[in-house]
Structure 1
């Protein structure tokens, strides 16, 4: 019995070394997983990245570009402190938005007056491209949902 104890310890130590050697390079290379929130009924929904009509940077054209955030659950969700981001430079911060169950809010690019169904980033330039990613984070900065799209302009 005493001869099997060192052998078992050696096997366990070897397994730990193999596991650590597989995990550490991924973390060091920046491939560590994002901190994800527990499953949330709130998701990134429909996206309109190519505003209809003329792309003339008018407020009307800018507001033709939007991303929908939808609550697929039955209970309301308070989005205060949540963010919708393209990257570190283009981040929309939700303020006093309470998203009712089974409802959506459109986050428009341009300037406007916030309502229950529409909020505005107050940007004077287009944000979303035809090959882009929207990341939704909760008030604890945990990733709730990510949506990537790829398309082309037909003009």
Structure 2
């Protein structure tokens, strides 16, 4: 299981429209041949925003895209239903954890990783 692709900077102006929010996404790919239940798994950014997967099953060798904005969850797309951007355009780290809180994968982008605490 890995974070396979990140689009942290949605194209166009960051006007917080739902369309713009949904153009910010992270893809997770099941690299095994077997289906995996993501129930209780979490995806988190450096600022501590957390998205929790509910009753999500990812088939073997398939990818699911997690959008920031609102929408109807499907087998290929999930929506966090947020009204603001999460992933920092310039630098951030996405962390995928399983239901026991173990880190499965992290993906960092951007320059210096300065943590704003």
TM-score (norm 2): 0.90
CA distance in 1, matches of 2:20, 2:35: 31
Displacement over 6 Å in runs of 4+? none
Report which of the two has the higher share of helix: 1
Structure 1 or 2, whichever has the larger Rg, is: 1
What stretches of structure 1 of length at least 5 have no aligned partner?
A: 1-41
Match of 1:102 among 55, 61, 64: 61
CA distance in 1, matches of 2:46, 2:10: 20
RMSD: 1.1
Match of 2:3 among 24, 28, 44: 44
Match of 2:97 among 137, 151, 154: 137
Aligned residues: 110
Report which of the two has the higher share of strand: 2
Match of 2:28 among 69, 84, 92: 69
Greater relative contact order structure (CA < 8 Å, 6+ sep): 2
For the residue of structure 2 that corresponds to 1:119, the secondary structure is strand
TM-score (norm 1): 0.68
Mean CA deviation greater in 125-134 or 82-91: 82-91
For residues 19-44 of structure 1, the C-alpha deviation after alignment (integer angstroms, 9 at most, x for no partner) is xxxxxxxxxxxxxxxxxxxxxxx111
